[in-house]
Structure 1
Amino acid sequence: MRSFTTLIFCLLISVASIAQSRIIYEEFDSAKLGESRRLKIQLPRDYEANVEKVYPIVIVLDANYLFEPVAGNVDYYGYWEDMPESIVIGIMQGDSRYEDCSYDDTNFVPSDKGADFFEFIGLELIPYIDSNYRTAKFIIAVGHDFTANYINYYLFKDPPLFNGYISLSPDLAPMMDERLPQRIPAIESKIFYYLATGTDDIKDLMEISEALNKSLKPLDSKTFQYHYDNFEGATHYSLVARGIPSALEKIFSVYRPISKQEYSDVIMKMETPISQYLIDKYKTIEDLFGLTNAIRVNDYIATCTAAEKKNQWESLREIATMAKKDYPDTVLGDYYLGRYYEETGEPKKAMRTYQGAFDKEEVDFITVDLMLDRADKIKTEFGY
């Protein structure tokens, strides 16, 4: 019952979310395949309005049925900033999925139509998307059973074509379970890999996933970020609705705003400067996803609050200075800069900093009244 409810919830999210974003259908004439392929493309909500922004790509195989759950979750998580807004590219396959993803019976690598499809994605589709849309240099591929096996072949390119792999109940080709653990340690770039099955999955496929997990789990490292789920009660098809959001959460965990858990379990236990943690977090986002985002207001408040509680006054000053630069029309930077001056023995500077922000935009709990009250308290206490 819980699995069914989860599935319905995800489908409702998909329908509601996609209605707010832009869907495009395109016929792509492929020289590699010698035929046209239908693409289904979802652009982010602000794509037309924000012409300077670039977006990661999510490539969805089996788009006839996988596109909606992937696109809906991408839009939903992007809306709440739990992942970057992204362009979703669905390749409609239908019954051609078996020929598209076919491999040789002797060496078990893509052959015939499977080899053509491999080149279609790498040499035609991705360059086309990069040329016609504003893309960041971060690509995720999503596949289910037969197509989940197929996306693994791109790990053997140097460098791999995709940065992230969402493998849902893969129907692995022979020797793939041996080749992947051998290949992955040799990859120098950062790779995200998500594998999922369910306790009610097709028996053979569940066993394949369990065996592959045992081989990949020891490889988890700074360059190979690996996650595995075996969903209780999930069937071969219902696990898709549970696996996609789980995969997106795990792949983009560093991108999310600072959570209560990150605040209490990481930041509040740090001995190093909190300001450096904030800088490193956004440098990691830039390095991994090719995105130069302004630091969120939420993250400024979280790190400033932690710096206050841990008496890291120099960190507080540095973070407040950055906030003042990023959000000059708000009270954010002024408030925490005032707090720095208060705590480091410069009450007159604190008072003037608070008073100087009287005409700025309020942020969260930081109101103009709060700023002026703090200024008045200093003025009364020190007789200025």
Structure 2
Amino acid sequence: MRTKIIKRLMPIAIMVLGYCQLNAQLANTIDMTEDGQLLGLGTQHIYKSKILDEDRPIIISLPIGYETSNANYPVLYVLDGLGNIKHTVATAELLAESGLISPLIIVGIQSMDRAKDLTPSKAGEGVYGGAGGAGIPQSGGAPLFLKFLEEELIPYVETTYRTHPFRILEGHSFGGLFSTFVLMQSPDLFDAFIIQAPALWWNNEEMIETAKTFYMANFSLNKTVYFGIGGDDGWGMRQELKRYVEVVNKNTPHGFRWKHEEVGDEDHNQARLLLNYHGLRFIFSDLKNTKFTIENFDRTTFLKDEQNLISQYGEMTRRPAMDYVKLYAGLDEKGETTDAIVVLKRATEAYPKYVGLLNNLAKLYEKVNQIQRAISTYEEAIKVSKKYKLGYEEGYQLEIDRLEKN
């Protein structure tokens, strides 16, 4: 039995291996200054806010390919942007390259006074970290900061750049507290949230008390929310987050997709990179193929689902390349070559730089005697190989010559 399974899977393994060999990582060019400084993290803009009555620095990072496409992109708004922009951009680019998330416009909002902007209420006597009973006099500015986001920053971003309607808010610690506040105060403003180690101890856990009425009052809430914290964060921080998600668990609204986890052994600050990574993976987890198998594949449903993902997250959205490869290879091995072509053609559209996908698509066209399409696909593969200096042009030309002779 085991031998039969291995023999059945061997053609798929060979195809997957061929895909890996022909699709090594392609280096994306990053601009540099004349004195050799590496760019690529974004551009700082100074937004003159009437609501905040100040000049607020904003970092805008555009996804790779933005300048050469006409696509619209979802937007990730990152609180404490100056401190988080480096790891956030790097993680988002890696995940988008792998097809695990959609490419994103990232807006890093630089903090000026965190205790003012990110706290939902005045902190009085006995506040954590306070001294002398004075509290934090400037605290309680979150409602005004939310108004700044809603009435100034988001409209500015959406009129200046090609944005898709899907918006994400991400915040850590006080930023996580603010994100929790926004989720319950203005739930329609963002579609998804990455709430990292939120300071839910604020003002005697008032956000937890608010949650008890908010989730009972909202029978339906079509949002995706990731609640994450480092496994070695403070016991109080972790327990307060647990108390919040217990409220969510008891009264989960219809359509509310959420996850709570403790990640690794990182402490409060160390966890930010991992929480950003896991949060983005969770928000876009529907890009992983869990619907279509070799046994239940239907090409019409497959193409409709691909279009649904594009509608939800933007034109550049795609599944991980290996999901397409495994599916088409299995269909072809089963003898469903026409269905395999449908999957692989979609893969070449989603990953136009991956010359190995074009090579395998040409072979499938030849297999069903669509010779001219096979030739055209090899010609496209030559263009891609030449553009990215992959070195496969001669081999593909030999395939074209062979097909034309026959």
Residue 101 (str. 1) matches residue 121 (str. 2): no
Number of residue pairs the alignment of both structures matches: 338
Aligned to 1:82: 100
Query: 1:142-191 deviations in whole A, cap 9, x for unaligned?
Result: 1112221211233346761111101111122411442453355422x4x2
Aligned in 2, Cα 1:360/1:129: closer, same or farther, shift over 3 Å?
Answer: closer
The Cα of 1:315 is off from its aligned counterpart by 2.3
Aligned to 2:263: 231
The Cα of 1:353 is off from its aligned counterpart by 6.1
Aligned in 2, Cα 1:223/1:32: closer, same or farther, shift over 3 Å?
Answer: same
Aligned in 2, Cα 1:369/1:296: closer, same or farther, shift over 3 Å?
Answer: farther
- CA contact 1:278–1:303 (8 Å) conserved in 2: no
Rounded Cα–Cα distance in structure 1 between residues aligned with 2:60 and 2:345: 41
Aligned in 2, Cα 1:92/1:179: closer, same or farther, shift over 3 Å?
Answer: farther
Rounded Cα–Cα distance in structure 2 between residues aligned with 1:24 and 1:352: 46
Rounded Cα–Cα distance in structure 1 between residues aligned with 2:71 and 2:372: 37
With 241-250 and 20-29 compared, the bigger mean Cα shift is at 20-29
Aligned in 2, Cα 1:118/1:297: closer, same or farther, shift over 3 Å?
Answer: closer
Rounded Cα–Cα distance in structure 2 between residues aligned with 1:66 and 1:359: 43
Aligned in 2, Cα 1:20/1:325: closer, same or farther, shift over 3 Å?
Answer: closer
- CA contact 1:331–1:368 (8 Å) conserved in 2: no
Pairs within 5 Å for 1:122-137: 122-137=150-165
Rounded Cα–Cα distance in structure 2 between residues aligned with 1:66 and 1:194: 17
Aligned to 2:47: 28
The Cα of 1:374 is off from its aligned counterpart by 8.9
Which one-letter code corresponds to 1:58 in the other structure? L
| % identity of equivalent residues | 17
- Structure 1 counterpart of 2:277, from 245, 253, 266: 245
Query: 1:306-362 deviations in whole A, cap 9, x for unaligned?
Result: 2223333552354467679998x95555432333x3xxxxxxx45676577665526
Residue 311 (str. 1) matches residue 343 (str. 2): no
Query: 1:95-152 deviations in whole A, cap 9, x for unaligned?
Result: x22221333469xxxx963221111001110000111122121211111122212112
Unaligned runs of 5+ in 2: 1-29, 124-138, 386-391
Pairs within 5 Å for 1:179-190: 179-182=213-216, 185-187=219-221, 189=222
Rounded Cα–Cα distance in structure 1 between residues aligned with 2:119 and 2:178: 8
Aligned to 1:200: 232
The Cα of 1:62 is off from its aligned counterpart by 1.9
Rounded Cα–Cα distance in structure 2 between residues aligned with 1:317 and 1:229: 40
Query: 1:3-41 deviations in whole A, cap 9, x for unaligned?
Result: xxxxxxxxxxxx999945252222211121122212122
The Cα of 1:228 is off from its aligned counterpart by 2.2
Which of 1 and 2 has higher RCO (CA within 8 Å, sep 6+)?
2
TM-score normalised by length of structure 1? 0.72
Aligned to 2:170: 142
Aligned in 2, Cα 1:186/1:66: closer, same or farther, shift over 3 Å?
Answer: same
The Cα of 1:266 is off from its aligned counterpart by 5.6
Aligned in 2, Cα 1:371/1:232: closer, same or farther, shift over 3 Å?
Answer: same
Unaligned runs of 5+ in 1: 1-14, 257-261, 342-348, 380-384
Rounded Cα–Cα distance in structure 2 between residues aligned with 1:80 and 1:139: 21
Aligned-residue RMSD, C-alpha: 4.0
With 282-291 and 174-183 compared, the bigger mean Cα shift is at 174-183
TM-score normalised by length of structure 2? 0.69
Pairs within 5 Å for 1:154-303: 154-156=182-184, 160-172=188-200, 173-174=205-206, 175-182=209-216, 185-187=219-221, 189=222, 191-217=223-249, 223-255=255-287, 262=289, 267-268=292-293, 270-273=295-298, 275-276=299-300, 278-291=302-315, 301-303=325-327
